[in-house]
């Protein structure tokens, strides 16, 4: 797979989940072992300078990438989830989506105090989810050093909101 173009593995669905939204789907990427391996190689190369000590996967597609990257870097991965999905003492942060509102939670005892954490999700749009994730990590003493996404929807301005370096495998205007 010498001529790898990740955009060949991202499908587009107009008017999903609501009219006016062009949904970028990573299912073809996930279905290809070779494409996923190449994408993870690209993430690794671009994230290595940040010296991550942990990865935070944002519900739910971010989990797929955070665990793979944590394995490659020899560190841990933890989940940032929607309400009602995690047990124990939780910290919470609300955020606005491109087409609605939601909340993220994480376990308050996640062992990341003082660690360099990379946030991972499948997509960056308006930046609200990543901004909330960053706030959660900082609330328990972690340091967010970068955000990594498969897809960056640049015209929605998320990069300006997140206030940290961004690594994106595909960017769409």
Catalytic center residues: 61, 98
Q: Is the dihedral of CA 145, 136, 95, 79 positive or negative?
A: positive
Q: What is the distance in angstroms between the CA of the first residue and the CA of the last residue of the chain?
A: 26
What is d(CA 169, CA 40) in angstroms, rounded to the nearest whole number? 10
**DSSP string for 84-129:** TSS-SSEEEEEEEETTEEEEEEEETT-S-TT-EEEEEEEEESSSHH
| Contact of 125 with 62, CB cutoff 8 Å | no
Residues constituting the chain: 173
Residue 125: which of 41, 61, 29, 51 has the closest Cα? 61
| Contact of 167 with 149, CB cutoff 8 Å | yes
Largest CA distance in the chain: 47
């Amino acid at each position: 797979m010498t001529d790898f173009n990740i955009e060949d593995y991202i499908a587009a669905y107009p008017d999903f989940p609501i009219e006016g939204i062009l949904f970028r789907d990573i299912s073809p990427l996930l279905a290809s072992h070779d494409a996923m391996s190449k994408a993870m190689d690209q993430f690794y190369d671009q994230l290595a300078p940040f010296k991550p000590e942990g990865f935070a996967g944002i519900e739910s597609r971010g989990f797929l990438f955070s665990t793979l990257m944590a394995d490659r870097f020899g560190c841990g991965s933890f989940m940032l989830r929607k309400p009602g999905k995690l047990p124990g003492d939780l910290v919470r942060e609300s955020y606005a989506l491109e087409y609605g509102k939601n909340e993220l939670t994480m376990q308050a005892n996640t062992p990341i105090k003082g660690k360099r954490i990379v946030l991972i999700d499948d997509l960056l749009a308006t930046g609200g989810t990543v901004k909330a994730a960053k706030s959660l990590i900082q609330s328990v003493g972690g340091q967010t050093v970068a955000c990594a996404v498969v897809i960056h929807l640049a015209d929605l301005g998320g990069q300006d909101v997140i206030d940290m370096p961004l690594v994106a495998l595909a960017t769409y205007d």
